[in-house]
Amino acid sequence: MRVRARIIFGIVAVAAIVCIGLFLRHIGAPRVVGRAVAPDGTEMCIVQHCNWSAEPFTTSFVYRRAGGNWGAFYFDHQDVYWGGSRPVLDTNRGVAVFYRGSSPAVTFAWASETYTMHRWSRTMTGAQWRLPAGWSPALSVR
């Protein structure tokens, strides 16, 4: 093999290894795929983490009132990768709608803490579970 071909092969191999490493780092870390803050300071996020199994990702909706602890709702434990979720706030109605592509995935009324998961038409009021003090979507999804 000529020297030039070896150099090109080496560069391509290193680039492929770096890209694979960055991809694994991206999907392996807990990720916030959508975030919104209501006028009253309520923070809302769609979070996702990799399960490293045949059930690829666990997706949850988390929220907290200004200064409070985070509460969470189930979305899916066998989910596929979300590249992002576009939130739309309707301040007149007091709701945030998080979209998956062009379809609404979650609607959350922040004043009443009412969560609606659109794909199963499931509505719940109040967090399904509370996360420990100090928990942050940037640190962990569990």
Per-residue pLDDT tens digits of the chain, which is 142 residues long: 688 878 888 788 787 777 676 666 656 667 899 999 999 999 999 999 888 888 899 999 999 999 899 999 999 999 999 989 999 999 999 999 999 999 999 999 999 999 999 999 999 999 999 999 888 887 654 4
47 neighbors 31 (Cβ within 8 angstroms): yes
Q: How many helices (H) and strands (E) does the chain have?
A: 1, 10
pLDDT at 27: 66
**Maximum separation of any 2 CA atoms in the chain, in Å:** 70
pLDDT at 84: 92
CA distance 102 to 85: 10
Residue 102 token pair = 């062009």
pLDDT at 28: 65
Compute CA 29 distance to the chain's CA centroid, rounded to the nearest angstrom. Answer: 11
- Sheet containing strand 31-37, edge to edge, reads 31-37, 43-50, 57-64, 71-79, 129-130
Within 29-139, residue ranges assigned H as helices are none
pTM, 2 dp: 0.82
